[in-house]
Chains A and B, each alone.
Chain A
Amino acid sequence: EPEVTQTPSHQVTQMGQEVILRCVPISNHLYFYWYRQILGQKVEFLVSFYNNEISEKSEIFDDQFSVERPDGSNFTLKIRSTKLEDSAMYFCASSEWRFYEQYFGPGTRLTVT
């Protein structure tokens, strides 16, 4: 069964450093998303991406964040200068079409020290 994959599973970085989180969505899916979940809190939407551009972004997704689909398979989230409050689980998701089920990857746990 196809699944969304994410690397790395855990990333530790120092405050101010840049990190890139990687995702490989399900191959025939057209919509891609990033969500985050701070420990013990609800899952929050960051950004959605379709047809090589951002469809929507939340207030969390400020200038420190960017997304890219560098090739036909990868979908990346970059945080330019990490802050302590960026520590969270970051989930990538994809869906075949609008309103279709979003399938989530296993997450990348980001720890900023």
Chain B
Amino acid sequence: AQTVTQSQPEMSVQEAETVTLSCTYDTSENNYYLFWYKQPPSRQMILVIRQEAYKQQNATENRFSVNFQKAAKSFSLKISDSQLGDTAMYFCAFVYNNAGNMLTFGGGTRLMVKP
């Protein structure tokens, strides 16, 4: 079974500063993909960033970047120049080569950006 763990239930950061959210996962699969999703108070699930396991280069998307450590099974999200609109729940998610393409989510980290 695949598991995803987010060890930080809550975090806070000052506006304009940088914050890193942690995620670890457990799998015996070699071909998989990792995602970070953002869930603001509206509860909409918004894709933030994606990483293919076969790629060594870490994904970046504007102010969002990941630190993917395959051997350690770690996938952290760095948010630079934090903005008030970044306040949300952040979920790490994993999918591997299964028939159903199902996403397995971590428990989430609640991020508060303070002015």
A residues contacting B by CB (< 8 A) are 31, 33, 35, 37, 41-45, 47-48, 50, 55-58, 89, 91, 93, 95, 98-99, 101-104, 106-107, 109
Contact = CB atoms under 8 A, between A and B. Distances in A.
A55 B101 contact: yes
Contacts of A56: 98-102
Nearest to B96: A99
B21 to A, nearest CB: 15
A106 B102 contact: no
B45 A99 contact: no
Contacts, number: 68
Interface of B: 33, 35, 37, 42-47, 50, 52, 91, 93, 95, 97-108
Those 3 A-B pairs whose CB atoms lie nearest each other, nearest first: A56-B100, A104-B45, A48-B100
A79 B62 CA distance: 41
B42 A102 contact: no
A106 B100 CA distance: 22
B102 A99 contact: no
Contacts of A47: 100
Given A42-B106, A99-B33, A101-B35, A91 B101 contact: no
A90 B50 CA distance: 23
B91 A58 contact: no
A48 B91 CA distance: 20
Contact of B45 (A43, A45, A109): A43
A91 B37 CA distance: 13
Given A101-B35, A101-B47, A104-B44, A45 B98 contact: no
